Amino acid sequence: MPEVFHPVPEVVHPAPESYLPPQVQEPAAPVPPFTSRVFYGVMFDAGSTGTRIHIYKFIQKDPVELPVLDSEMYHAIKPGLSEYKYNPEEGGNTIRQLLKIAKKTIPEEDWKRTPVVLRATAGLRLLTEEQAEGILNEVREVFEESPFYVPSNSVSIMNGINEVNFLTGHLYSNTRRTVGILDLWRINTNNIPPKVKENY
């Protein structure tokens, strides 16, 4: 009777762990060091006696901290925007002149991300709503045609609440302290002449 041969199945044993090929990990890309960033901002103060431009330069030295003010450039032009209540286009031209200074001060590559804002005070408050809006709309058009960034509500008349909050430092804190004010507009006091006796 022929001998029956039963083949033994081949068992493949995994190689010892010490013989496994080492996994090669690619080195992580180095994180580039944070370099200081420079920001600019343009603020127009449209007062009763003139319009002033403030060009601010900010530097951020740490990504987790807010930028700090590095320098400020200031220039004023007279008269104020309220003097152009019958000719808003001329008032807009005064803003164009001041924007030329901003373009000379701020690097061109930063124009598109530099916000421009105008806040008017006493002079425009004394005008009729139609006259004030005519001037503000002209300023808005000048801003829109400029190469700078124009945020929403970039042109408006500042009320006394914002002014006193700035003066008392409430814009920078969560204080609940109440403050009372008397809003004495400078244009009113400037226009009151002293009484002089003609005969002594």
Catalytic residues: 163
Which among 80, 96, 43, 35 has a CA at the least distance from the CA of 60?
35
Task: Give the CA count within 13 Å in the CB-facing half-sphere of 116.
Answer: 27
Q: What is the DSSP letter of 76?
A: E
Vertex 101 angle, CA 95 and 107, to 5°:
125
Strand order in the sheet with 116-120: 68-77, 51-60, 37-46, 116-120, 155-157
- Give the start-end residues of each E strand in the chain: 37-46, 51-60, 68-77, 116-120, 155-157
Largest CA distance in the chain: 159
The DSSP 8-state label assigned to residue 63 in this structure reads T
